[in-house]
Chain A
Amino acid sequence: MTDYPYWEDVKEGDELPPLTKRPTTRQLVRYAGVSGDFYEIHYDKEFAISTGLPGVILHGALNSAFLGQLVIDWMGPRGVLKKLGCQYRGMSKPGDVLTCKGVVTKKRLQDGEGLVDCEVWVEDQTGRKFTPGWATAALPVRAAT
């Protein structure tokens, strides 16, 4: 079993293990189905181009889901995700190789909870960080266990 970090193990500047995603048009169709977001820019190339886009693009919220996985894979099942946010500053498309990354920016104890703030983001194969974000996780505190 993987050893997940306790709050005491984490320090500012720590990097989260990166997560790679290779989205496909098929994935966008699946995501449209389960999320109920059937806006055609995510699977109909002609429609996407007619709205001024270069082609089909990912649902922003799919990138957000990837960032959620990044943080949860790192903190493990005993951690609790408190906040997750991101901005979609640029687009990503099927065929891109996306890497989700994160770094610990702050840790604090608040009302007995071991909180860790992280800067997180998604970048593409060119290194462009098109989805900057942030997360707050509550990690288990060793002193309290």
Chain B
Amino acid sequence: MPDAAPDVESLRKRFLGQISPPEVMEVEKGHVIAFAKAIDDPNPLWNDEAQARQSHLGGMVAPPTFLRAARTQRLEDLPPDFPYTRLLDGGSEWEYFEAVRPGDRITAVNRIADIFSRAGSLGPMIFVVSETTYTNQFGRVAATQKNTSIRY
């Protein structure tokens, strides 16, 4: 863990506005079901095609946090000389515009929106705010996620 106060200005100069290469995810029904089971959510909309077809959605969709599985370049992928190697998740803000369905092709792009530092219980911490936009195969934004990562 670095002892000195972090040089936030140089980190901001280097990383702010950085845009990740697009990450493409084909949404597969089996993946949606496995995700639903992992989060222990039995809702038929993300577990059971036959039941989901009876709903007004007309078929299965992905649960709200499923797009976390589109692994855009994230902080753990930043260059090895980034001065803080330990990572915590600080929080997430989702906004939803369109349902994500099995068969969709989602392109995720991540942009670093803010970097700041704060003293924390585990020592000096760098907060990195990134905004991810998830666009479907029709060119429409299905969701956005603003995520705060904490490095220490």
B119 located at the interface, meaning its Cβ lies under 8 Å from any Cβ of chain A in the complex: no
Q: What residues of chain B have their CB less than 8 Å away from a CB belonging to chain A?
A: 1, 31, 34-35, 37-41, 43, 45, 55-57, 63-65, 68-69, 71, 76, 86-96, 122, 146, 148, 152
Asked if residues B96 and A81 are in contact (CB atoms below 8 Å), the reply is yes
B56 to chain A, nearest CB (A): 6
Interface presence of A5 (CB below 8 A)? no
A window 105-136: CB within 8 A of B? none
Cross-chain contact of B35 among A35, A77, A81 (Cβ < 8 A)? A35
Per-residue interface assignment for chain A, residues 54 to 87, with 1 indicating a CB less than 8 Å from any chain B CB and 0 otherwise: 0000011110111011001100011011111111
A31 touches B89 (CB 8 A): no
A60→B56 contact, CB < 8 A: no
Q: Are B43 and A73 in contact (CB under 8 A)?
A: yes
Select A61's contact among B31, B34, B43, B89, beta carbons within 8 Å.
B89
A45 at the interface (CB under 8 A from B): no
Chain A residue total in the interface (Cβ 8 A): 34
| Distance to closest chain B CB from A39 (angstroms) | 6
Q: Which residues of A contact B40 (CB under 8 A)?
A: 21, 27
Inter-chain contact B64/A61, CB cutoff 8 Å: no
Q: Are B69 and A83 in contact (CB under 8 A)?
A: no
In the complex, the answer to whether B69 meets A36 with C-beta atoms within 8 Å is yes
What is the minimal beta-carbon distance from B45 to any residue of chain A, in angstroms?
A: 6
Give the distance to chain A from B71, nearest Cβ to Cβ, in Å.
5
Q: How far is the CB of B49 from chain A (nearest CB, A)?
A: 14
- Does A82 lie within 8 Å of B96, measured CB to CB? yes
Q: Is the CB of A69 within 8 A of B93?
A: no
Closest to A71 in B: B64
A30: CB under 8 A from chain B?
Answer: yes
B76 pairs with A39, CB closer than 8 A: yes
- Using A37-B68, A68-B63, A82-B95 as known contacts, say yes or no to A52 and B38 having CB atoms under 8 A apart: no
